[in-house]
A and B are shown apart, each in its own frame.
Chain A
């Protein structure tokens, strides 16, 4: 079946640094990729929707300059958390294929 591979699965970084998270569709072309954030004991919150070859659509309240999304190919979408701060610590998840398939998630801890 379709697989979405997300890396890294966890990352610890210092405040002020940037972190890139990658999501790859392994056996299908992902025209659209959804990026979510999930805080402990809360549900998924959609951050943005990326479309291959065009600008991402960000949800209200999500800073596009802080969470940079690139979807340059049909098999790869990236989310870069720029100038990360402790409040950005969260579980970040991507999904594709009409949201039937999710990446493994990335647990980001900013210290």
Chain B
């Protein structure tokens, strides 16, 4: 059965800290891995990763994929209170409808 596992499930840090969120997966027909940030409403897209070893970066956020070990990490440096959210990892499986398998998310709280 396809599955995506995120860790930790929750994390509390202080502003300025650096955090690393983990996402491991076991799927057949891997196509891509996506990271999203979810605050109170619907998720917003962060990154899509398809190749191993190529870091994607956007401001203080970065992510990398390891297709051999079947995991990805999302790094956030110099965290701010506005980074508080649930970070979701999803793996797209190849097929007609490009289905996503979702992790449960990591709930990040950044305290001032």
Contact = CB atoms under 8 A, between A and B. Distances in A.
25 contacts: A6-B42, A32-B98, A42-B104, A43-B88, A43-B103, A43-B104, A43-B105, A44-B43, A44-B90, A44-B102, A46-B99, A49-B97, A51-B97, A57-B97, A93-B42, A93-B43, A98-B98, A99-B90, A99-B92, A102-B43, A102-B44, A102-B45, A103-B42, A104-B41, A105-B42
A74 to B, nearest CB: 17
A84 to B, nearest CB: 21
Nearest to B92: A99
Interface of A: 6, 32, 34, 42-46, 49, 51, 57, 93, 95, 98-105
Contact of B88 (A44, A46, A101): A44
Interface in B86-112: 88, 90, 92, 97-100, 102-105
> Which size bracket describes the interface of B in this complex?
10 to 19
A93 B34 CA distance: 17
Determine chain A's interface SS by DSSP, over half rule: strand
B48 interface: yes
B112 to A, nearest CB: 24
Interface in B35-49: 41-45, 48
A104 B90 CA distance: 19
Given A42-B104, A43-B88, A43-B103, A99 B42 contact: no
Contacts of B105: 43
